[in-house]
Structure 1
């Protein structure tokens, strides 16, 4: 599958200037979105599919063990990422959000949605410090468009954030504690990779 590269890609492969638009949510949560942020998105996507050691996981679901409907890989703090653009993106995000976050993004969780049958169920990143503290999760989306949906914990109307090739979404404030998010199944979709940058001890 081919994707048109961002018009902002340059020979130096510098990220597009980071100027996201913020959408305030209830309970002190917010979402930042910037379309087409990642330069060289085509090359990064191809490298991710080829070079990441993707693995399948299985998970206990009630009385049985089931396949997790996506492939995953985790790059911990200090680990080299599979493409230099991702390392530059992480550094740009760290610099931009440092006044609010107070610390850098250090890890990169990767998910490979092979087609529209792959998904992630409603959840918040509440393991570690995210259970009790405001934090941020920055997601770069590569490949076919999918919807990130969010809803308040305990009930309320959901919102949808369509994510396309090279788009950035950042969930911040109390979002992980007071909201849930998901990527639902889709009738027809091609491969998609998401890269989730997180600060230390948030997952």
Structure 2
């Protein structure tokens, strides 16, 4: 009886993962095509406002600890990482992650694309490549994962995603441990219908979300 249950669960997991990957490929392709005019305009505005690359690429931790290059529209001044060292004392996020609501490194166009989460659109390429999924815990920096407590490591047993429980539940108003717990809740709860629900819910909170910084 136990073996039969294990076979059913494994079959359900394979079906879920296949359905999830199929959705990721179709949705990311459609998104990149339909949003290409917006992507072009944002790229031009970023270049006009400040010198430096349009796309910001950074190593993040993916499925089972594998590193990958995550893409975002650049929303900060080119020397943002150097300036970060001087701002560490003003970190408003508990735990190993750095967050500032009024971060002086953010450009004017950067503030807008962060507010609307447009800065995350290049991650559709990561989704298409299979490094990320539409839904999953947000990808962390290697140095952040190094400081995770053992119970937090379960969050890297799934692909990181564009949206998750944290993304639709207050974001910067949630402290680090609560954020990690939300990610673990998703890992335990995940199914195809939940993923669809979170994708639709994300659309309602993105534009004009006062918690997006």
What is the TM-score when the length of structure 1 is the normalising length? 0.29
Greater RCO structure (CA 8 Å; 6+ sep): 1
Instruction: Please identify which structure carries the higher helix content.
Output: 2
Higher CA-based Rg: 2
Instruction: Please identify which structure carries the higher strand content.
Output: 1
What is the TM-score when the length of structure 2 is the normalising length? 0.28
